[in-house]
Structure 1
Amino acid sequence: MSRVLRSNRGGRVDEVGSGAPAGGNGAAPRPRLEDVAARVGLSTASVSLVLRGVPGPSERTRQRVLKAAAELGYRPDRTASALASRRSRLLGVMVDIHSPFHAELVEHLHTAAEEVGYDLVLSTLTRTRDENTAVETLLAFRCEALLLLGPVAPASVLAELDRRAPVISVGRRIAGASLDVVRSADDDGVGQTVDHLVGLGHRAIAYVDGGKGVIATDRRRGYRSAMRRHGFDAHIGILRGDHTEEAGERAGRRFVDDGGDLPTAVVAFNDQSAIGLLSAFRRAGIDVPGAVSVAGYDDDALSRLAAFDLTTVSQNAEEQARQAVTAAVERLDQGRTVPREIVLVPSLVVRGSTAGPR
């Protein structure tokens, strides 16, 4: 007897396709649609319309049905509905469990999906679990579309995958591929950060890189372009890094151990790397922002904590999520076939980790 667990909002875990009879082990029978209908004195068809969010029933009727369903503890059997309609109404999301920004995106994706009658299945990337495994898991769960958060697979691989199920690349630019993209203008976001630091009086502004991949390339280009735009070619300095706090700490130690003059400001590929930088500087007794200003990218939950108070760039996770779900629904329910790219303008969030140079 097979069991599959699916995570829902609020930490609830539903059992899907268990093969176990409802109300087994002496438990009370699971409330049925007929029970809700009997409680409010309506037909099951009318109650079904309310619970599926279909227009028609009055607001008073809707409130009565929802109240009765809550009192009875009724929850729709999504598995039965999917079998009856031959549709799962599931959107598959590939997510990096180490990314605070991805976690925030998932929360907003849940909200956006529920508003249009879809649910999410999450498949994680870990140090030992690659993109191909994560994607194949989503397809095995009969996900109708795939929302891939920051995929690194080649564009040709993603285009081939799009022939199996609609693919929406969230956060990453896809050059020349016929699939949907929802992303932030990463080069512009880093450029805004450099502009902010220059406006404070900084000239020696260094950058901690994000490693390989399109997102890292775009942000690196944004740094170079902004420095050149301000005439600071001679001050361009890029340290090797990646998307982790450990990489930021290593970069911070290199700045300290070099023995030369520190840059007056450092921009990091993302907030995790920037937090690593802050930790390294503080352990070395270097005041931030007094001696060195530090800025990140993503505006994730950690950056907002008073302990870090990090100047960063917001990608507007809520709008990215809404646009990604909208793109999937347009492909699935409206039959759109022409790929779209939605590019959102990021915005600088100034906090206490940046100030004018001494």
Structure 2
Amino acid sequence: MADVAARVGVSRQLVSLVMSDRPGPSAKTRQRVLRAADEIGYCADRTARLLRRARSRQVGVLFTMEHPLDVHLVEAVYSAAAESDYGVVLSALLSTRGERESIDDLLGLRCEALILIGLSAAAPAHLATIAAQVPVVEIGQRTGVEGTDSVRTADADGARQAVDHLVGQGHRAIVHVDAGDLPGAPERRQGYTDAMRAHGLGAHVEVIGGDYSEEAGARAARGLLARDRPPTAVVASNDRCALGLVETLVRAGVRVPEDVSVVGYDDSRTARLSFLDLTSVRQDAVRMAGLAVACAAERLDEGRTTSRHVVLAPTLAVRGSTGPPRSAAD
């Protein structure tokens, strides 16, 4: 700012007023200062600003870069945080960078609250200690750690809607490719099983082990292709799994949905691609992110101390990857 002030011939304090968009300088002076700042490539030191403030008003977001839904959530957190006058600091989970290190980085950058997206099913051992220091909000799961908030979808209900839809189309041989103990997977598995039994199809219940990846879907598809009588419908653990499943089936000459109907989960942008046109259980990423930011703001700005756990109802987005089984259509 001293360089900008010298270039324009004004005081450093006046430049500070302009850069902070505070009243005082005339419109003409503001224009001269901003032009000079642009000419010399001045960029405000946000870290220095934060150090001078009693509060950082920053929310730290821990996320993975593996799942499309996580990316949608991060985008939505930015918008929700801005509406509440909070900034966002990101920290990514990587195979070489664990949860503890990633969380500690956010705390080191003076984040006042943490939003956790895509944690493993088991909560970090020190999460309770962190929750005693700053607000912690989980998106997509509830680990049950004392002092945390959570925002998630009723995953069992989502899987039930997928089964209800397929049964309504005439399917009976419906299998589920699950994701083990990953967040949301046990609930989706239970929802599938309960729905099948509710429709009198308990004898057809079949869960194929997998995860939230394209390879899991491809692996499941290869196993189905080796059968004499494959199922007529599959409920995949998520859209990535469904993508791998559909791609492998189609490459083998199996038509979707004429031969096999496929339902995904998340209703990510992947599901809406024209070549996939995937029926998928929708999670409202914008609403989830907004509620997560609101939970953090309630603790920081309003002093709430009791835990809040929000469960949102999913909806089924029906597209072209599902239809009646061949026997029902013929």
TM-score (norm. length: structure 2)? 0.87
CA-atom RMSD in angstroms: 3.2
CA distance in 2, matches of 1:38, 1:129: 40
1:170-212 per-position Cα deviation (integer Å, ceiling 9, x unaligned): 1102346331011111111111111111111111100001122
Query: Is the alpha carbon distance of 1:215 and 1:76 closer, same or farther for their aligned partners in structure 2, counting shifts above 3 Å?
Result: same
1:21-61 per-position Cα deviation (integer Å, ceiling 9, x unaligned): 8869xx999xx88359679xxx975379xxxxxxxxxxxxx
Per the alignment, residue 46 of structure 1 pairs with 23
Equivalence map 1:298-337=2 (5 Å): 298-337=266-305
Per the alignment, residue 246 of structure 1 pairs with 215
**Matched residue SS, 2:176:** strand
Equivalence map 1:93-172=2 (5 Å): 93-152=61-120, 153-154=122-123, 157-172=126-141
| Counterpart selection for 1:186 from 155, 162, 185 | 155
Counterpart amino acid of residue 285 in structure 2: A
CA distance in 2, matches of 1:262, 1:69: 71
Question: Do 1:69 and 1:75's aligned partners in 2 also have CA atoms closer than 8 Å?
Answer: no
Equivalence map 1:1-358=2 (5 Å): 34-35=14-15, 45-46=22-23, 78-152=46-120, 153-154=122-123, 157-175=126-144, 177-257=146-226, 259-358=227-326
Query: Is the alpha carbon distance of 1:34 and 1:307 closer, same or farther for their aligned partners in structure 2, counting shifts above 3 Å?
Result: farther
Identical residues among aligned pairs (%): 45
Query: Is the alpha carbon distance of 1:84 and 1:266 closer, same or farther for their aligned partners in structure 2, counting shifts above 3 Å?
Result: same
1:253-288 per-position Cα deviation (integer Å, ceiling 9, x unaligned): 01101x221111000010000000001101111000
**Consecutive unaligned residues in structure 2, runs of 5 or more:** none
Question: Do 2:179 and 2:212's aligned partners in 1 also have CA atoms closer than 8 Å?
Answer: yes
1:197-250 per-position Cα deviation (integer Å, ceiling 9, x unaligned): 111111110000112234111111111111111111000011010011011100
Question: Do 2:118 and 2:183's aligned partners in 1 also have CA atoms closer than 8 Å?
Answer: no
**Matched residue SS, 1:212:** coil
Larger mean CA deviation between 288-297 and 78-87 belongs to: 78-87
Query: Is the alpha carbon distance of 1:246 and 1:234 closer, same or farther for their aligned partners in structure 2, counting shifts above 3 Å?
Result: same
Query: Is the alpha carbon distance of 1:144 and 1:69 closer, same or farther for their aligned partners in structure 2, counting shifts above 3 Å?
Result: farther
**Matched residue SS, 2:180:** coil
CA distance in 2, matches of 1:115, 1:70: 26
Question: Do 1:209 and 1:216's aligned partners in 2 also have CA atoms closer than 8 Å?
Answer: yes
Count of aligned pairs: 318
Query: Is the alpha carbon distance of 1:111 and 1:169 closer, same or farther for their aligned partners in structure 2, counting shifts above 3 Å?
Result: same
CA distance in 2, matches of 1:222, 1:22: 63
Tell which has more relative contact order, 1 or 2 (C-alpha 8 A, sep 6+): 2
Counterpart amino acid of residue 34 in structure 1: L
Counterpart amino acid of residue 111 in structure 2: C
Larger mean CA deviation between 347-356 and 83-92 belongs to: 83-92
Q: CA deviation at 1:80?
A: 3.5
**Matched residue SS, 1:183:** strand
CA distance in 1, matches of 2:320, 2:146: 40
Query: Is the alpha carbon distance of 1:33 and 1:285 closer, same or farther for their aligned partners in structure 2, counting shifts above 3 Å?
Result: farther
Query: Is the alpha carbon distance of 1:69 and 1:252 closer, same or farther for their aligned partners in structure 2, counting shifts above 3 Å?
Result: farther
Query: Is the alpha carbon distance of 1:351 and 1:23 closer, same or farther for their aligned partners in structure 2, counting shifts above 3 Å?
Result: farther
CA distance in 1, matches of 2:324, 2:189: 23
Q: CA deviation at 1:69?
A: 9.8
Q: CA deviation at 1:155?
A: 7.5
Q: CA deviation at 1:156?
A: 6.1
1:287-343 per-position Cα deviation (integer Å, ceiling 9, x unaligned): 000000001000111111001110001110000000000011111111110010111
**Consecutive unaligned residues in structure 1, runs of 5 or more:** 1-20, 49-63
CA distance in 2, matches of 1:28, 1:238: 71
Counterpart amino acid of residue 113 in structure 1: A
CA distance in 2, matches of 1:339, 1:211: 28
Q: CA deviation at 1:127?
A: 2.4
